Amino acid sequence: MASTDLPPIMLDHLYSMDDNLKAGGPLLLLEDARENPVVSYEPSPKTTSVIDPASISRCCIQNGLFPAVPLFFKYPCSISKGWSEWVDRELRDPSTCNILRRAQVHDAIFLSKLWDIHIEAKMLRHVIRRRSAATHTFVCSLGEFTLTLEDVANISRLPVCGDRSPFSIALTPEEIDNLAVLRRGAPTSPSTSLRFSNWIQYFGDANRQGPCRLAAFIALWLGRFVLCDFSQDCLHECVFPLALAIARGDTIPLAPMFLGHLYHLLNRTQLLEKNASGTMGVETLLNSGFLQVFLWERLKGLDVHSLPHSYTMKLADWVPVAVSQSGQFRKRQFGLDQGVPDSLNHGDPFALHRIFWSNDHIPASCRPIVLASKARVGGFSRDYQAYWNHCLTSFHEFQSSPGDRLPPTTARLAGLVSEEKAIPISKKRNLPFISKSGDVVGEFPKTNSKPRT
């Protein structure tokens, strides 16, 4: 039960509260979409559960359960000094290129040296708050869309399937010795030995040819561009066994790991904003650069080539979380016709994740599906239109019934930042917010112009 004596709040006043999720008339078909959609089976819209509005931050904010607080994206979207030169140097070695191609990461590593993304933080804040933690989809007036394995494979070029489980990597005695070298990191103080800059300066030295040079190179790429969750400028040693496996040419299913990791961080960002309840800001290390590129591509309607065999309707996971999601909610994203989504039971997601590195014992429900051609624009059935209007009505009713503000958490959660810390972060990024005192803080300092003479 909400408390009646809650502390003052800090507020992201740049977040728009315009309501575009009201139920309306018939959904408009997209240009070139099929007017007679082909839907083999769909449940009745009257008996299908709607998306829980409490799973969408935007609905909760409108309802008054918690306010929109400043969200800060910590993921480093610029290129670390010396990384591009290190990539060029390694890819000039034919033997290194052969190993990386066998592991299916050559193109992904090459692209990383160009990964310098300008983040539109205000837009990302709006998009994240449109996400349902229940369906793992972004909700808009015309339906849902989300990040898929196709998007990961096309944008980052990470391998979808592999020949080695990422959860049980066996190391040789020589690799165990190299693992110890990687864990020691650069010869600096223990607190900075795994820092990106020190790592590049030490292991990326052109005059240094150690036995774990390639593994150190791959470890920096994994910890900086693929699975960054520990720090915005330091490696985490959990990537070292993966790096050693890739350095010997093993193919690891990095795309589902990346996607599950991203889903986990998106869920955590929503949870942190709820727990803050207006008293603290939120910092997240989710890959904002990838999310930005995904939105650019999807919103601009750029062509995205589908994989030969798609597992995108299935599962993506990364320790310590597994995410199971049904493609029933977003068929139009793949050029298919959208019907009323069915409630599917995925079973144990940790049993299903094996499909990414083994074709043995794959359940029939997890077999590859057939995707539409990239030029096809999916339509939707009349029942789906009725179902989606039920969803919109539920959202509107939830938002129109003011609730009591939730009490803030008393736990010390990583990712929550105090107002004192949030103000200098906001000034650096020109993302002002309303402080607990009611003042607008965090704007760029205004420079006084010199008087004309």
What is the tens place of the pLDDT at every residue in 379-437? Answer: 778 888 888 888 989 998 998 888 889 999 888 888 999 999 999 999 888 889 999 99
User: pLDDT-derived band of residue 271, with 50, 70 and 90 as boundaries?
Assistant: very high
Determine the average pLDDT of the residues in 317-338. Answer: 50
Q: Name the token pair of 16.
A: 């728009």
User: Which tens digits make up the pLDDT trace of 142-171?
Assistant: 788 888 888 899 899 999 888 888 888 999
Q: Which of 113, 72, 114, 118 is nearest to 289 (CA)?
A: 118
Distance CA 372, CA 367 (A): 16
Residues β-bridged to residue 131? 138
Between strands 137-140 and 416-417, the pairing is unpaired
Residue 320, preceding bond cis, omega within 30 degrees? yes
Output the pTM of the full model: 0.83
pLDDT at 402: 85
Q: Which of 408, 407, 410, 437 is nearest to 423 (CA)?
A: 437
Residues β-bridged to residue 73? 284
Length of the chain: 453
Residues 6+ apart with CB under 8 A from 170: none
What is the number of other CB atoms lying within 10 angstroms of the CB of residue 271? 16
pLDDT at position 196 over 90: no
Q: Is 393 within 8 Å of 23 (Cβ atoms)? A: yes
DSSP string, 180-219: HHHHH-SSS-TTTTTBHHHHHHHHT-TT---TTHHHHHHH
Distance CA 188, CA 254 (A): 30
Distance CA 56, CA 139 (A): 8
Mapped to the 3 state alphabet, what secondary structure does 322-376 carry? EEECCHHHCHHHHCCCECCCCCCCCCCHHHHHHHHCCCCCCCHHHCCECCCCCCC
What are the CA-CA distances from residue 231 to residues 33, 200, 227, 228, 382 (Å)? Answer: 44, 16, 10, 7, 48
CA angle (24, 44, 377) in 5-degree steps:
60
Coil vs helix vs strand at 71 = strand
pLDDT at position 303 over 60: no
